[in-house]
Amino acid sequence: MSILAALVVAWVFGVGVYGAIVSRNLIHLAICLSVSQSATYILLLTVGYRHGAGAPIFKGVPLGSPAVDPVVQALTLTDVVVGVTITALILALALDVHRESGSVDPDEIAELQG
Amino acid sequence: MSRRDARRVLGLPVCAALAAVLAAGILAGPRFGEFHGAYGRMLNAVAVPQRHATNVVTSIVFDVRGVDTMGEEFILFAAVVGVVLLLRDEREPAGSTRADDVRSDAIRMFGVVMVGPVLLVGLWLAAFGLVTPGGGFQGGIVIAAAIVLVYVSAGYRQWSRFGRERLLDPFEGLAAAAYVAVGLAALVAGEPFLRNLLGNGQTGTLVSGGSMSILNWAVAIEVAAANLVLYTEFLESYVVPHISER
Amino acid sequence: MLLLVAAAATAVALTMDPLRQVVVSSVYGLLLVILFVVLQAPDVALSMLVVSSVAYPLIVLIAISRTRRRRGGEG
């Protein structure tokens, strides 16, 4: 299980980067980057997971009952919300490029600039 | 060989190597399900007695890592400012008429029915963030989603009333400032920055957590306003030129 | 669950048309939500749920529609 979690995190990150490399569209590229970013969510949460533990919310369960690590969850929480804003910024940059060059294909844009 | 094929051939081994190194690095870390991070265990044990907030994640976000959350909030703020700067100059000159897009009745009906409940869920998530799962970040994006449903159901004209920057920008700025103000208030009182001044309140109630609940609402408003500014900028750049072409 | 997430991530990255990619990435987001619940992280699952079902599709769809329309107008 430990090996599987590590492999999945590495796979998700790698496939996101690969998608960005072969991308033919800047919007496609932005989504691929967000896939790479989602690898960090999986990594943090699988690192914090403990067998047989509940969520770190002590409402209705006695204090001291086993719970997963809350620190990594707090990190991931802000990561998710800030991540979507950053993706919006990347998309806005892509639209700006499109306005300047009339294309969202990285190859065409590179050719236009010589 | 075209440039695209070259990227594919060169990219594949690079990505495979990257993933392999990453996997090896992660495997050297703690085993899955057996992580015994000292901070996490300590906080699970002391957070509820010390902070009187039953959701430990929220009490980490707004208390233990309070300064860091302030940083996150300003990343949000800076990113939104960036989007606004990039998209705003494509705006149509003021005073032109804006027609509504025609939509299917089913979608319109769905929007009308859902606006209220979704808004309520958002407020509930934000309000009970210190007790049950939820908090300012989640509540804020749900509130923003509820207001987007106004656009879905009532069209751009009604939406633009909510989406006006004059209305949203002060909200966003003030919410970001409120977070800092709560921190500075502690400094003025002779305590460390962001120190909880208001006491802890009663465990499991809406006022538990002291100034954490203020920070919570500040973040909820900030996140909601930031997302709405984003949606407005994107929608405006889409709807307005679309209409002017007709 | 982890394998499903890995498969969905692959599908997202290898879907070349952005419009189809929006749908696939929403499915990927929902799988992540389920994974987060399994990993006992309801807070993160809640915010991922809204982000992947409302925020991402909305801004990406608008970005796509703008690039398509402009190109059609010029050509």
pLDDT tens, position by position, B48-75: 776 667 777 877 887 777 788 888 888 8
- The reply to whether C69 touches chain B by the CB within 8 Å rule is yes
Q: Is the pLDDT assigned to residue B177 strictly greater than 50?
A: yes
Other beta carbons within 10 angstroms of residue C9's beta carbon come to 29
Indicate if the pLDDT at residue C59 is higher than 80: yes
Q: What is the pLDDT of residue C72?
A: 44
Q: What is the pLDDT of residue B97?
A: 42
Q: Structural domain of residue A50, as residue ranges? A: 2-112
Contact B57 C66 (CB under 8 A): no
Q: What is the pLDDT of residues B104-113, one digit of tens each?
A: 677 777 777 8
Chains that touch C (3 or more CB pairs under 8 A): A, B
pLDDT score at B24: 86
CA nearest C34 in A: which residue? A42
Give the best residue of C16, C58, C60, C67 to mutate against chain B (max B CB count within 10 A): C58
Residue that wins the pLDDT comparison between B157 and B234: B234
Selected residue of B9, B12, B22, B48 to mutate for chain A interface (largest A Cβ count, 10 A):
B22
Whole-angstrom distance, CA of residue A64 vs CA of residue B43: 11
Closest C-alpha among B154, B170, B40 to residue B101: B154
Q: How many independent structural domains does chain A possess?
A: 1
Considering only CB atoms, B235 lies closest to which of C45, C51, C62, namely C62
Round to whole Å and give the CA distance between B161 and B136: 24
Question: Which of A63-72, B181-190, C11-20 has the largest mean confidence?
Answer: C11-20
- Give pLDDT, residue A66: 76
Domain of residue C47 covers 2-74
Assess whether pLDDT exceeds 70 at residue B197: no
Band of residue C34 on the pLDDT scale cut at 50, 70, 90: very high
CB contact under 8 A, B137 and A3: no
Beta carbons of C47 and B237 less than 8 Å apart: no
Domain total for chain C?
Answer: 1
- Rounded to whole angstroms, how far apart are CA atoms B39 and B60? 11
pLDDT above 70: residue C75: no
What pLDDT does residue A1 have? 54
**Residue B99 confidence (pLDDT) above 50:** no
DSSP tag of A59: S
CATH of residue A71's domain is 1.10.287.3510
Q: B133, C62: Cβ pair inside 8 Å? A: no
Q: Say if A8 is an interface residue toward chain B (CB within 8 Å).
A: no
CB contact under 8 A, A107 and B4: yes
- Measured in angstroms, the CA of B43 and the nearest CA of chain A are apart by 8
**Over residues B215-222, mean pLDDT:** 82
**What's the pLDDT score for residue B95?**
42
Helix ranges (H only) for chain B are: 3-27, 38-51, 56-59, 66-88, 105-127, 136-163, 165-188, 211-244
Cβ within 8 Å, pair B125-C63: no
Q: Which of B106, B63, B104 is nearest to B200 (CA)?
A: B63
Q: Which subunits sit against A, judged by 3+ Cβ pairs under 8 A?
A: B, C
> What pLDDT does residue C71 have?
45
Residues sharing a CB contact under 8 Å with residue B8, sequence separation 6 or more, in sequence order: A21, A22
Q: Tell me the C-alpha distance between C47 and A45, whole Å.
A: 14
The answer on pLDDT for B94 being more than 50 is no
Q: A61 at the B interface (CB within 8 A)?
A: no
Write the residue in C46, C58, C63 that is nearest to B133 by C-beta.
C46
What pTM, to 2 d.p., does this model score? 0.80
Q: Which of A45-49, B190-194, C4-8, C38-42 has the lowest mean pLDDT?
A: B190-194
